[in-house]
Amino acid sequence: MTAREINTDLRDNIVRRVLRLANTPVDFIVLFGSKARGDSGPDSDTDIALSVPALTSTERSRLRLLLTAEFNGPNVKVDIVTVEDVNWSLRFRISRDGVILYERKDGLWNAFVELVIARYPDYHQFETRILREMMGSV
């Protein structure tokens, strides 16, 4: 799916609401998950990732709560994550599936993807080893 294939009203609505509530520079906003891949079903949620590096971890947590309250309602399920606060496996899925809805400055999304490409393979090996060890002890 490309940014052009996303309903313009939906994209603009998401971007407007995120930027209003963030009240600080947002580097990028991306749609990821099943809706970005184009394989969502009737019960699928909407996954949104954003980058707000100027905020502290506590401020990002507060922003996620505000955005969750803003977007969720009856029959509407939206998951919001900040890329600064998720593990490398989720960052990989975001970079693989992500459809850019907003980018504050050209190159910020690509810089994130390049960072994930550089770091994820080592993390994946570590994660796999730990999971095998945990499963062996069960």
pLDDT tens for 105-130 read: 999 999 999 999 988 767 666 666 66
Specify the range with the lowest mean pLDDT, choosing from 7-11, 24-28, 97-101: 7-11
The answer to whether residues 109 and 118 touch, using CB atoms and an 8 Å cutoff, is no
Domains of the chain are 8-135 (3.30.460.10)
Asked if residue 8 has pLDDT above 90, the reply is no
1 vs 99, higher pLDDT: 99
Torsion sign (Cα): 16, 55, 117, 94:
negative
Contact 52, 60 (CB under 8 A): yes
pTM of the full structure = 0.84
Angle at 25 between CA 12 and CA 4, to 5 degrees: 30
